[in-house]
A and B are shown apart, each in its own frame.
Chain A
Amino acid sequence: MAIIDLANPTRFLALTNRVLPWLAALTVIVFAYALYRVAYAPDDYQQGATVKIMFLHVPAAWLAMMGWGLMTVAAFGTLVWRHPLADVTAKAAAPIGAAFTFICLVTGSLWGRPMWGTYWVWDARLTSVLVLFLLYLGMLALYWTADDPNRSARAAAILALVGAINIPIIKFSVDWWNTLHQPASVLRMGGSAIDASILVPLLVMALAFTLLFLLLLLLAMRNEILRRRVRSMRMMQAASI
């Protein structure tokens, strides 16, 4: 089966139904292992046990940005190739990305209070992530208010592309301007600034988060495809009366 065949919603559904149980099992196993690694990760020399918040905060932040990245790729699928599955992907990813952004903001705030001495400041990193959250909310509102998926798809794709400009701003905000938030620890010039005993649990946790994201995404995409089928069946039924 060629990769292009997956773009057919029926084939996609069949494959999804086969993959989902395995993906769910894998997610649970990796999450259990990640929690075990995190529980036994050493305390930081400066922050002590508070550093544990990082294992939630950082993967959530990565997934928040990946969610919008996925919606950006899907936007090209919608606008250039006019593919229905692209919009299904974007619509399914929006609430999941919003949830991860929310987790990132809340955990960051709770981490900031004991370490920095404040829940919130308007520095470039914190503000640009808040903007990402608002963009997600805008995307959700757009999908909620639209009743015709064909029309909302185009508008959502344009919002996704415009919002994509915020992603490099989030990533590089700590390099371009001085901020209260510290610069990048993992993806930086000269390698990671985190000791392996803390970095490995973090990466395992990030993998667990990514699997969870994929699992939720596939479930939401399946629901969305079925929802659209129900809708078109209803319309055909209404037309035949």
Chain B
Amino acid sequence: MTRKQRRLTLIGGSLAVLGVAAALVLFALKDSIVFFNSPTDVVEKQLAPGTRIRIGGLVEPGSLKKGDNLQVSFKVTDGAHEVSVRYQGIVPDLFREGQGVVAEGKLEAGGLLAADTVLAKHDERYMPREVVDALKKSGRWQEGEMNADAHVVGKKP
């Protein structure tokens, strides 16, 4: 082996070790790296009331209710389970039924989330209005990110 080959092997080896170390650290921390939990996580983990948590999923169609003083309540669903959320404040422009959402707040008794932050999440699709209309007309439009995008609803791959 020439000196160059030896250096290359050494560097390659060190990088591989470093890569594996980084992968192990990230794998061990995966529960804290995720930005939100799905409603299924909340149900399965049996979290105590008073826990601060971020819940992500879709705003369940038909569950959105608007009250006085910017009060909103809605259900976050991942297709399997749902969590009711109460929030007071201005919601983002993209917030609506069927849209991805992340709500952060305190769990109350009965599994209700009293949110102090509501963030909208959008999917990776970008297209003009006319294209969406044409797709809808021809029946090739997949409504909601329910099936199209498992990440929006917080399912882990």
- Chain A positions near chain B (C-beta within 8 angstroms): 42-47, 51, 54, 76, 79-81, 114-118, 121-124, 161-162, 164-165, 169, 174-180, 182-185, 188, 193-195, 197-198
Give the chain B neighbours of A117 by CB distance below 8 A.
Answer: 91-92, 95, 117-120
Chain A binding surface, main DSSP class: loop
| Chain B nearest Cβ from A216, distance in angstroms | 28
B156 interface hit (Cβ, 8 Å) = yes
B43 interface hit (Cβ, 8 Å) = no
Q: Once the chains are docked, how many angstroms separate the CA of A50 from the CA of B155?
A: 28
How many chain B residues sit at the interface, stated as a range, is: 35 or more
Contacts A165-B18, A177-B33 hold; do A194 and B8 have CB atoms under 8 A apart? no
- Give chain B interface residues in 74-104, CB to chain A under 8 Å: 91-95, 102
Q: Once the chains are docked, how many angstroms separate the CA of A176 from the CA of B157?
A: 8
14 more contacts with CB within 8 A, not counting A117-B120, A124-B35, are A42-B130, A45-B131, A79-B7, A80-B8, A116-B120, A162-B18, A165-B19, A176-B30, A178-B35, A180-B119, A182-B121, A182-B152, A193-B123, A194-B127
B19, A174: Cβ atoms closer than 8 Å: no
Q: Once the chains are docked, how many angstroms separate the CA of A207 from the CA of B82?
A: 44
Could you name 25 residue pairs across A and B whose Cβ atoms are closer than 8 Å? A44-B127, A79-B11, A114-B92, A116-B94, A117-B91, A117-B117, A117-B118, A117-B119, A117-B120, A124-B35, A161-B15, A165-B19, A169-B22, A175-B151, A177-B30, A177-B35, A178-B34, A182-B122, A182-B151, A184-B124, A185-B125, A193-B126, A194-B125, A195-B126, A198-B128
Q: Give which listed residue, B34, B120, B149, contacts A177 with CB less than 8 A.
A: B34
Q: Give which listed residue, B14, B91, B130, B154, contacts A178 with CB less than 8 A.
A: B154
